[in-house]
């Protein structure tokens, strides 16, 4: 299922890039995979995070860092 999440992350980034033509796109998806909990890994709340950066978010480390810091602060309040 992690491969499906990675593919979805890239598809969302590509679709936004095509539709809006922004200077950059940053996508981060967090998902709780029940298959991990059910297959014996025994991490009930195991969250898998995938990301895809395009344009300015991929090319400019400072822009990417600022984006990741902003979304990190949203989840940890």
Distance CA(3)–CA(29), nearest Å, equals 13
Return the pLDDT at 75.
Answer: 63
> What pTM was computed for the model?
0.79
pLDDT (tens digit per residue) in 16-50: 999 999 999 999 999 887 766 566 656 667 788 99
- For domain 2-75, is the CATH number 3.40.605.10? no
Distance CA(71)–CA(26), nearest Å, equals 10
Q: Given CA atoms 14, 15, 20, 21 in this order, what sign does their dihedral have?
A: positive
Return the pLDDT at 34.
Answer: 73
Tokens of 19: 């539709």
């Amino acid at each position: 299922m992690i491969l499906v999440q990675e593919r979805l992350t890239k598809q969302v980034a590509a679709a936004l890039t095509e539709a809006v033509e922004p200077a950059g796109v940053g996508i981060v998806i967090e998902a709780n995979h029940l298959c991990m909990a059910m297959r014996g890994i025994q991490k009930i709340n195991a969250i898998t995070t995938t990301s895809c950066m395009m344009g300015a978010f991929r090319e400019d480390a400072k822009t990417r860092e600022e984006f990741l810091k902003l979304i990190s602060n949203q989840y940890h309040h």
